[in-house]
């Protein structure tokens, strides 16, 4: 055991000396009046395609299976004490809720795309609009209507008839069964296929008072849904999404169906009086059409208002683009839940324990390994997206220097506490996630052996550039380097980091740096934008 500890300490000391010598050498170079730059091609780390860390051999491996948040178990295929092999089904999730969620996320994604398309059309219209002289008379005309109409429009106070749990009439008293009206968590109203929405509710959702005469509160987003059996848990048959910020106020007396169309009032046995009706009805239609036109196609703007509307619509489009991306991610996550309904065993072993669904932070099912040797290693949080089960690990025994190949079987969903890691030269400010890898041919390995581990990189990570860590600086979570521009002057350049290899004293740059770039040491008096540069050879072992 002492021999193993001496080897590990020796490795740490060597790495510290290497990193220290780079820093000292670079600081000495900084006393000049120009910055020395080095071709990135000449300084990339030799470790190339591997992630390096340390681990340990163990024969005491278990698979801890935790339930995913907000998911319930459908069927369990094993019992305590049962032997299982890798790939055996352990249990499946109930996917009825997941399917319902997927349908909702699909609708939200389509609505987000439709909204983006609609706002893009509005922007084109606005940019093609010729501004006119301002007519300030229109503002006051809205104010007088506020007081008289506030009291009289209390008609929808009557009790709303329901069919099951669904509304037949959706007015200002209707309650959403879910959501707070925000874009990500819209109101969700349960209604029948023949229900209607009052103009007052439309106005409130659009961010106006009930009469639609004055701005009041923030616009809201609502989804009007028809479910099977008129029950909240029923399958969604139809839905219509109303986005308040994109709508103008309407006549509070009108009614809208859940397809977003105005409901025409039925004519009640007054056909004989057609002549009189024809006199009045066109007047109503014309006035309604006039109202629609002034709020959309033939809307007139003075130059200042038009400029403001264009800026507002451009901001809407940016918000829409963000919402589309979020909706796409939410849809993918929901689809993943449906596709990954079954949970399988990652190791050969025995089902040690099955806890209840309310296991208070404990694993739902524990499978104890029954045979073979495993390697227990740790992955830096920055590498999590690049490592997956099935990936190969090359292990070197510190004592015999023999190489072994293993395959990752499981990656923990939660990080290990620092005291549990117990070895390695990891960054104390990073989280590390345990993984287990199975060694198929373990001859020459013993339980408790310490190993040097190299993780093969995926195609994306292999394309990154690995350079000495002292050449990269950071400000919070933002990383940057200093490179020479075409005028041989230093410029600051942001880079995207894919991994920090503290064992090797290097950083992997995924984007922002090319092999053709010339990079400078980012510390000292010469590390500033505009400083003249001079090409130099990168040789940390040379003296001045």
For residue range 267-298, list pLDDT tens digits in order: 444 444 444 444 333 434 333 333 333 334 44
- Domain assignment present for residue 209? The answer is yes
- Domain assignment present for residue 214? The answer is yes
- Domain assignment present for residue 165? The answer is yes
Closest CA to 436 of 337, 499, 345: 345
Closest CA to 378 of 440, 327, 422: 422
| Residue 540, pLDDT score | 52
Range of the domain at 178: 150-265
Closest CA to 376 of 450, 458, 456, 457: 450
Angle between helices 96-127 and 303-339 in degrees, nearest 10: 160
- Domain assignment present for residue 467? The answer is no
What gap in Å lies between CA 350 and CA 372, rounded to an integer? 13
For residue range 218-275, list pLDDT tens digits in order: 888 899 898 888 888 888 888 888 888 888 888 988 888 877 666 655 444 444 444 4
Q: Sign of the CA dihedral 544, 19, 52, 55?
A: positive
Beta strands in 440-541 (DSSP E): 450-456, 465-468, 473-475, 478-484, 490-501, 506-511, 518-520, 533-535
- Domain assignment present for residue 107? The answer is no
- Domain assignment present for residue 502? The answer is no
| Residue 142, pLDDT score | 47
Can you tell me which residue has the tokens 């990652």?
346
For residue range 356-385, list pLDDT tens digits in order: 777 677 888 888 887 678 888 888 777 777
- Domain assignment present for residue 223? The answer is yes
Contacts of 539 (CB under 8 A, 6+ apart): none
For residue range 303-345, list pLDDT tens digits in order: 888 888 898 889 989 888 988 988 898 898 888 888 888 889 8
Q: What is the 3-state secondary structure (H, E, C) of 358-407?
A: CCCCCCCEEEEECCCEEEEEEEEHHHHHHCCCCCEEEEEECCCCCEEEEE
- Domain assignment present for residue 445? The answer is no
* Lookup: tokens for 539: 């040789």
Instruction: State the total domains in the chain.
Output: 1
Closest CA to 427 of 482, 492, 380, 484: 380
Half-sphere exposure of 521 (CA within 13 A, CB side): 25
CB 468 within 8 A of CB 45: yes
What gap in Å lies between CA 436 and CA 347, rounded to an integer? 10
């Amino acid at each position: 055991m002492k021999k193993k500890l001496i080897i590990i300490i020796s490795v740490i000391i060597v790495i510290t000396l290497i990193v220290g010598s780079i820093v000292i050498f670079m600081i000495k170079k900084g006393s000049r009046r120009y910055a020395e730059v080095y071709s990135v091609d000449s300084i990339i780390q030799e470790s190339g395609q591997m992630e390096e860390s340390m681990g340990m051999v163990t024969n005491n491996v278990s698979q801890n299976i935790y339930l995913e948040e907000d998911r319930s178990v459908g069927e369990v295929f094993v019992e305590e004490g049962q032997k299982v092999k890798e790939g055996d089904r352990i249990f499946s999730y109930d996917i009825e809720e997941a399917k319902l969620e997927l349908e909702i996320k699909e609708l939200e994604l389509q609505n987000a795309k439709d909204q983006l398309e609609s706002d893009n059309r509005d922007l084109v219209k606005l940019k093609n609009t010729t501004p006119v002289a301002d007519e300030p008379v229109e503002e006051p005309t809205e104010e007088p209507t506020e007081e008289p109409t506030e009291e009289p429009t209390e008609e929808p106070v009557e009790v709303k008839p329901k069919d099951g749990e669904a509304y037949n009439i959706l007015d200002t008293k209707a309650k959403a069964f879910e959501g707070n009206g925000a874009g990500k968590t819209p109101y969700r109203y349960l209604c029948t296929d023949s229900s209607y929405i009052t103009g007052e509710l439309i106005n409130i959702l659009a961010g106006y008072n009930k009469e639609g005469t004055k701005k009041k509160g923030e616009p809201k987003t609502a989804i009007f849904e028809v479910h099977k059996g008129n029950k909240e848990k029923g399958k969604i048959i139809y839905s219509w999404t109303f986005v308040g910020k994109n709508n103008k106020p309407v006549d509070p007396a009108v009614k809208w169906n859940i397809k977003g169309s105005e409901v025409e009032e039925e004519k009640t046995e007054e056909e004989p009086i057609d002549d009189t009706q024809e006199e009045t009805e066109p007047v109503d239609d014309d006035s309604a059409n006039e109202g629609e036109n002034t709020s959309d196609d033939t809307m007139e703007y003075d130059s200042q208002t038009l400029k403001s509307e264009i800026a507002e619509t451009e901001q809407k489009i940016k918000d829409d683009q963000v919402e589309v991306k979020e909706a796409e991610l939410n849809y993918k996550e929901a689809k993943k839940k449906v596709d990954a309904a079954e949970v399988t065993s990652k190791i050969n072993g025995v089902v040690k324990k099955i806890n209840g669904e309310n296991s208070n932070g404990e694993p739902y099912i524990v499978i104890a390994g029954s045979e073979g040797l495993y390697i227990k290693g740790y992955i830096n949080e920055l590498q999590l997206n690049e490592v997956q089960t099935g990936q190969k690990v090359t292990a070197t025994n510190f004592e015999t220097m023999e190489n072994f190949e293993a395959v990752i079987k499981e990656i923990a969903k939660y990080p290990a506490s620092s005291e549990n890691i117990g070895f390695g030269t990891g960054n104390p400010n990073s989280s590390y996630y345990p993984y287990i890898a199975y060694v198929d041919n373990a001859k020459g390995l013993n339980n408790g052996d310490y190993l040097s581990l190299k993780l093969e990189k995926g195609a994306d990570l292999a394309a990154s550039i690995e350079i000495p860590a002292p050449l990269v600086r950071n400000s919070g979570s933002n990383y940057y380097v200093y490179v020479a521009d075409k005028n041989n002057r230093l410029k600051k350049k942001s880079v995207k980091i894919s991994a920090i290899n503290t064992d090797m004293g290097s950083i992997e740059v995924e984007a922002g740096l090319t092999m053709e770039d010339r990079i400078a040491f980012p510390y000292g008096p010469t590390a500033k934008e505009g400083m003249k540069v001079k090409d130099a050879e990168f040789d940390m072992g040379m003296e001045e």
